[in-house]
Amino acid sequence: MPKKTVAEKQSKADSWKVGSLKDWIALTRAEHALIVAIAVIASEFVVSKRFSFAQMLYPALGPALITLGAFAWNDFFGVKTDAAMKRLERPLVSGKIGRKTAFYGALLFFALGLIATLFVSQTVFIIAALFTVASMLYDPVLKKIPLLGNAFIASSMSISFLYGNYVFSDTLNPYVLLFAGISFLAGLGRELILTLRDMEGDRKIGAKTLPMLIGTKKTVILASALFHLAVGLSFAPLMNSIKPAYLMPIAVTDVLFLLTAWTITFKQTPLVLKKARNYTLYGLLIGVIAFATLGF
C-alpha cells in the first residue's frame, strides 16, 4: 500500500475524529483534574473545619473542568513538539482525536467550568476566569518566556488551594497559604524536569526554554533546590505540636520529592525523567492528603 502523503496525514490530524473515553482521559490528563478537585475540597475542609461532601463537591467541579480544558488546549498547541518527540501515546499525535475536536472540546470545558464557578461566588469566579485566560495564553505567549511559563503551570495547584479557601472565607488561612507555597515550589521543580524531558522536541520546533538558556546542569540544580525548599516548609505545621495524622502522609511526600531531587542530580536519562515525573505527581497527591489532615 502506498504511504500516506503529508497532506493526507494533516487532513486526518485536523479532522473531527472524536476518539474513545480513554483517549480523552489521556488528552486532558484527567488525573491532574482529579488532584485539583481534591485540593479544592481539602482547602474547603481546612478552612471550614467541617466536612460536607455535597456542599464541597460542586465548588470543586469548575476548577476540575477548567483543568481538563487547559490540558486539551495545551496538546492542541503543543502537537508539533509532541510529534517531534514521537509521543504516539498523545491522542492528537496518533490521530485518535482530531485537532478540531480537541480545540472545541477545550473551549467547551473552559465554558462549563466558568459557568459552574459563577454559581459559587463572585470571588472564585474571578479567580477561575483569570486562570482560564492565562491557560489560553500559555502556549502562544507564556510558554515562550523561559521560567514564566513553568511558573504559571506550577501555580495551578496553588490556585486550587486559594480557590478552595475563598469558597468559605474571605480571610486567607495560614495553612492554605503555606501549602500554596509548598505546592508552587514542588510544582515548579516538576515543570523544570518536564522541560528537560521536552528539550529535544522544543529544539526541533525552535522553542527557547530555560534548560536551553542556562544548561541542563543548572536547571537540575534549580529543580533540586526547589524540592528541598518545599520539603523544608512542610515541617512548619509541626513546630507547635506533633500531628500524627499529618506526619505520615507528609513524610511520604517528602521522601518522593527528595528521591526525585537526588535521582535527577546524577542522571537525566528519559527513563529517569519519566520516573521523576511520576514520583512528583504522587508526591503532590499525597501532599494534598497531608494538607487535608490539618482540618481536624
Please check whether residue 110 lies inside any domain of the structure: yes
Which amino acid type is present at position 60?
A
Residue 35 lies in a domain: yes
Query: Per residue of the chain (296 residues), what is the pLDDT tens digit?
Result: 445 543 344 445 567 899 999 999 999 999 999 999 999 999 999 999 988 887 899 999 999 999 999 999 999 998 888 888 888 899 999 999 999 999 999 999 999 999 999 999 999 999 999 999 999 998 888 888 888 989 998 998 899 999 999 999 999 999 999 999 999 999 999 999 989 987 877 776 667 788 988 999 999 999 999 999 999 999 999 998 889 999 999 999 999 999 999 999 999 998 999 999 999 999 999 999 999 999 98
In a domain, 141, yes or no: yes
How far, in Å, are 164, 207, 241, 290 from residue 244 at the CA level?
A: 24, 47, 10, 10
Residue 230 lies in a domain: yes
Instruction: Go through 48-74 and write b for each residue having 16 or more CB atoms within 10 A of its CB, e for each that does not.
Output: beeeeeeebeebbbbbbbbbbbbbbbb
- Asked whether residue 105 is domain-assigned, the answer is yes
261 within domain boundaries: yes
Asked if residue 1 belongs to a domain, the reply is no
Tell me the CATH number at 272: 1.10.600
Q: b/e per residue, 252-263, with b = 16+ CB within 10 A?
A: bbbebbbbbbeb
Q: Tens digit of pLDDT for each residue in 249-278?
A: 999 999 999 999 999 999 999 899 999 999
In a domain, 5, yes or no: no
Contact 84, 198 (CB under 8 A): no
CB of 138 within 8 A of CB of 156?
no
Task: Identify the domain containing residue 206 by its residue range.
Answer: 15-295
Total domains in the chain come to 1
Give pLDDT tens digits for 202-227: 776 667 788 988 999 999 999 999 99
Q: What is the pTM of this model?
A: 0.87
